Amino acid sequence: MANQRKQDKSWAEIDKWLEEDPFGLDEEVEIILFKCLDCNGTDEVPEYIIGEFSLDKKRGEEVELHCPHCNGTMIRARNIPSD
């Protein structure tokens, strides 16, 4: 009986742990706006995608994505001086 009770307790703890959202799945995903250097098209990219691309980059190096509109080069829009 003691073992059974202990198991129930641990399940309760797991439920609590899950309710606390340990993986942050309910957090709003940050969206980064990318702008194409070639066609000026824009694309909204989730921050975690950028993070994956950043793994191949040196510190401070710009993440570049392929433009879905013209297959050109997209960089973070905030890095482009506004005109």
Reading the block at residue 60, the tokens are 């401070």
Q: How far is the CB of 68 from Zn ion (least distance, A)?
A: 8
Q: What track of x and - describes contact with Zn ion for positions 40 through 59 (by CB under 5 A)?
A: -x------------------
DSSP secondary structure, 24-42, as one string: -TTSPPPEEEEEETTT--E
64: amino acid identity, one letter: E
The CA-to-CA distance between both ends of the chain, in Å, stands at 73
Pick from 45, 63, 65, 67 the residue near Zn ion by CB under 5 A. Answer: 67
Instruction: Work out which of 13, 30, 38, 52 binds Zn ion, going by CB under 5 A.
Output: 38
Would you tell me which residues interact with Zn ion (CB under 5 A)?
36, 38-39, 41, 67, 69-70, 72
